[in-house]
Structure 1
Amino acid sequence: MNNQSNKNVKFIDLGVIDYKLGWDYQTQLFEKTVGVKIQNRKNTPEQQDATPNYLIFCEHPHVYTLGKSGSPENLLIGEQDMKARHASYYKINRGGDITYHGPGQIVSYPILDLENFFTDIHKYLRYLEEAVIRTLLEYGLEAGRIEGLTGVWLDHVSQQNPRKICALGVKSSRWVTMHGLAFNINTDLSYFDDIVPCGIEDKAVTSLAQELGAGQDINKVKDQLKRHIADLFEMDITS
C-alpha cells in the first residue's frame, strides 16, 4: 500500500470534448495511477511514489452511454434518429444503465486514488452527491437522495414529482476511480426522451435552468461544484 497519502488534486477543465476523446483521456490518467500503485507494491516503502489524483470537468456533444449493467432496450431510438439528433452512442465500462451527455451539462471525472482519502466506494458516491446537493442549495434548491437510487433528486422527500438533476456512474480498480457524475445545468432535456434514463421509467429528469426558469452561468456552477468537492474530500486543488 502507498505509504505517502497525497491529497493534492490536479484540476483540468477540458471544455467541450468528444465523448471518446474524453474517455480515452481519463483512461490514460486512470491507467497511469494504477501503474504507480502496481509499481509501489514491488518497491520498498522508501522507494514508493505518491499516486496522482485528477479532477476533470468537461462537456460533451450529444451522446448516449450505456453502463455494464444496462439494458440496450433502454435506448429508444435507432441509428437514423440518432443521426438526425447529431448524437452518438457508446457501451462503456462504468456501472449503471443508460444516460445522456450533452452541451450545458457539467460532466465530472474524478481520477482519484481513494487510498489517499478513504477506502469506501459507498462513501465516495455519497460525497459526489453531497457536493451537488450543496451546490444546489446555493440556488435555493433543496435536493437529496432517494433510497435505492443513485444520483441527486428534487422533490426527494414527498416524491409527488421526483426529478433527477444529476446522474452518477463510476468504475474503480485498486481503489482508483474513473467516470463520475453528470449534472444538468442548461441541458436540452428533450434528449432524455430518447432513453429510459438510468433504466428508471417512472421518474422525470430536470436541470438547473428548468428549475430556476432561466439559463445559468455554467462556469459559476463549475466553480461552486469544484469548491464543494474539494471541501468534502479535503483536497488541495491545483490547476
Structure 2
Amino acid sequence: MEQIFYLSLPLVSYQKAWELQLSLVEKVYRENLPGFLLLLEHQPVITLGRSANTANLRLSLERLREKGIEVFWVERGGDVTYHGPGQIVGYPIFNLRFFGKDVHLFVRSLEEVLIRFLQGYQVEGFRFPPYTGVWVNQQKPEKIAAIGVAVRRWVTFHGFAFNVSTSLTPFSYIVPCGIQGFGVTSLEKCTGKEYSFEERRAMGREIGKLFEEVFSFPVKELSAASQGVLLDFLEKNGKESWSLASLLD
C-alpha cells in the first residue's frame, strides 16, 4: 500500500535537518514515492526565506551568534522566523503528484492539520488572510504556527513551526514573518499548562494522525530502529546512501 512515512526525531541541528530534507526530496522524486513527514525540534536558529528582508532582523548577525542563535538563508517562501527547543517543526516532503499538484491547497491543508490539533486542547485556531499560518485570539490575533514551504519538481519541503513551550523571547529579535503589529504566542501560553519533551513527542504522533485525516492518505510511523538508520545518516553527513527497504519492518 502507498503511504506517507512519518519520522519523529529528537533535537536536530538545522543544517542536519536541511541535509536530510534534500536527500528525501531526491529520493521521493526519483522513486516516485508519496513522501515523508519529519517532526522534530531545532536548536536555536533564525531562518530567512526567499522574500526575507534583512531589516526584519532587529539584532546584528554577530549579536545573534553571541546569543547562541544560528542564521540561515533558505529556499522556502516567506520572510524571517525563529526555531528553538519547545517548538514542533514539521517538514512534509510530499510528492504533490499524489495530491493534485496544488500548492495552495497543500498550504491550506497544513493549516487545517494544526487548527484541528488545537481543537484537541480547547484552543480555537484560525486562518488570518492575507497572512499564512495559524492564529489564535480572535480579538487580538497572535500567530502560533508559521508556515513556509518550497517545491522542487512537485516535491515539497520545509513546512511549519508550531510553538508549544517555545521561549517567545527570541521572537523579539526579529519581525516574525515580516508582519508588523501582531504578536506571537505558544500553546503553553494559551492553556496555562507546561508540556514536557515527552508530551511534545506524543503531540507529534497526534499531528501524524491528523495528517492522515486531512490528506486522506495512510501515514505510517517508522520504528525506532528505522529512525535510527536516518539518524546515522545525519551523523555521517549523508555520505552513505540508504534504501527505503532498510527502513521498513
1:13 aligns with 2:8: yes
Question: What is the CA–CA distance in structure 1 between the aligned matches of 2:9 and 2:205, rounded to whole Å?
Answer: 14
- List per-residue Cα deviations over 1:191-236 (Å, max 9, x = no partner): 1000000000110000000111121221232122111111111222
How many residue pairs were aligned? 218
Counterpart of 2:162? 183
Unaligned runs of 5+ in 1: 1-5, 37-49
Give the TM-score of the pair, scaled to structure 2.
0.84
Among 51, 54, 76, the residue aligned to 1:69: 51
Give the superposition deviation at 1:7.
4.2
Amino acid paired to 2:188: A
SS of alignment partner, residue 106 of structure 1: strand
1:17/1:59 contact within 8 Å kept: yes
Among 119, 132, 136, the residue aligned to 1:150: 132
Amino acid paired to 1:137: Q
Quote the RMSD (CA, aligned, Å): 1.3
SS of alignment partner, residue 150 of structure 1: strand
Matches within 5 A, 1:73-222: 73-156=55-138, 160-216=139-195, 217-222=199-204
1:7/1:117 contact within 8 Å kept: no
Amino acid paired to 1:152: V
The share of aligned pairs that are identical, in percent, is 38
Amino acid paired to 1:16: L
Question: What is the CA–CA distance in structure 2 between the aligned matches of 1:87 and 1:154, rounded to whole Å?
Answer: 27
Question: What is the CA–CA distance in structure 1 between the aligned matches of 2:2 and 2:56, rounded to whole Å?
Answer: 39
Counterpart of 1:47? none
Give the TM-score of the pair, scaled to structure 1.
0.88
Question: What is the CA–CA distance in structure 2 between the aligned matches of 1:173 and 1:19, rounded to whole Å?
Answer: 19
2:135/2:144 contact within 8 Å kept: yes
2:113/2:207 contact within 8 Å kept: yes
Give the superposition deviation at 1:142.
0.7
Question: What is the CA–CA distance in structure 2 between the aligned matches of 1:132 and 1:144, rounded to whole Å?
Answer: 9
- List per-residue Cα deviations over 1:51-97 (Å, max 9, x = no partner): 24101011000000000011011111113321332110000000000
Counterpart of 1:45? none
Question: What is the CA–CA distance in structure 1 between the aligned matches of 2:166 and 2:132, rounded to whole Å?
Answer: 20
Amino acid paired to 2:119: L
- List per-residue Cα deviations over 1:113-153 (Å, max 9, x = no partner): 01112221111111110010001001111110011110000
1:55 aligns with 2:37: yes
SS of alignment partner, residue 113 of structure 2: helix
Give the superposition deviation at 1:174.
2.1
Identify if the C-alpha distance between structure 1 residues 147 and 52 changes in structure 2 by more than 3 Å, giving closer, same or farther. Answer: closer
